Amino acid sequence: MLRLTKYQGWLIVLFLLSLPLSNPWVRGDGVGYYAFARSVLIEHRLDFTRDWLNANGSFRMDRIDDQDHILPSQYTVTGHLNDHFSIGPAILWSPFLIVAHAGVLSYDALGGHMAADGYSRPYLLAMAFGTAFYGFLAVFISFGLTRRYVAEQWAFLAAIGIWFGSSLPVYMYFNPSWSHAQSAFSVALFIWYWLRTREARSAAQWAVLGALGGLMMDVYYVNAVVLLLPLLESLGGYLMARRLRKGPGHLLLKNALFCATLFAAFLPTLIIKKIIYGGYLRFGYTEHWYWNSPAFFKVCFSSDHGLFTWTPILILAVAGVYCLRKYDRMLAFYSIAVFVGYLYAMGCYENWHGISSFGSRFFVGLTAVFVLGLAALFDWFARAWRTQLAPILESGVIVVLILWNLGFIFQWGMHLIPDRGPISWRDAIYNQVAVVPGDAASAAKLYFSQRKSLMRRIEQTDINQLKSQQQKERE
Look at residue 475 in the predicted model and tell me its pLDDT: 65
**End-to-end alpha-carbon separation of the chain, Å?**
67
Residue 434 pLDDT exceeds 60:
yes
Which residues share a beta bridge with 277? Answer: none
Residue 1 pLDDT exceeds 70:
no
Residue 237 pLDDT exceeds 80:
yes
Look at residue 444 in the predicted model and tell me its pLDDT: 92
pLDDT above 90: percentage of residues in the chain = 87
Residue 400 CA to residue 307 CA, distance in Å, equals 18
Q: What number of CA atoms fall less than 13 Å from residue 78's CA on the CB side?
A: 17
Range in 267-271, 307-311, 348-352, 384-388 with the lowest mean pLDDT = 384-388
Confidence of residue 360 (pLDDT cuts 50, 70, 90): very high
CB 37 within 8 A of CB 89: yes
Confidence of residue 252 (pLDDT cuts 50, 70, 90): very high
Which residues share a beta bridge with 206? Answer: none
Nearby residues of 21 by Cβ (< 8 Å), 6 or more positions away: 132, 169, 173, 174
Look at residue 396 in the predicted model and tell me its pLDDT: 95
Look at residue 243 in the predicted model and tell me its pLDDT: 85
CB 428 within 8 A of CB 405: no
Task: Over range 94-99, report the average pLDDT.
Answer: 98
Give the pLDDT confidence of 123-133 residue by residue, as tens digits.
999 999 999 99
Look at residue 244 in the predicted model and tell me its pLDDT: 81
Amino acid identity of 81?
A: L
Give the pLDDT confidence of 368-377 residue by residue, as tens digits.
999 999 999 9
Residue 305 pLDDT exceeds 80:
yes
Task: Over range 381-400, report the average pLDDT.
Answer: 88
| Buried/exposed 102-138: b ≥16 CB within 10 Å, e otherwise | eebeeeeeeeeeeebebeeebbbebbbbbbbbbbbbb
Does the model's pTM come out above 0.85?
Answer: yes
Q: In the chain, what are the domain boundaries?
A: 149-464
Residue 317 pLDDT exceeds 60:
yes
Residue 256 CA to residue 259 CA, distance in Å, equals 5
Residues in the chain: 475
Mean pLDDT of the chain: 94
Look at residue 170 in the predicted model and tell me its pLDDT: 98
Q: 449 by DSSP, 3-state: which?
A: helix
Confidence of residue 472 (pLDDT cuts 50, 70, 90): confident
CA dihedral 130, 135, 139, 140 (to 10 degrees): 10
Give the pLDDT confidence of 139-179 residue by residue, as tens digits.
999 999 999 999 999 999 999 999 999 999 999 999 999 99
CB 360 within 8 A of CB 307: yes
Residue 17 pLDDT exceeds 60:
yes
CB 355 within 8 A of CB 408: no
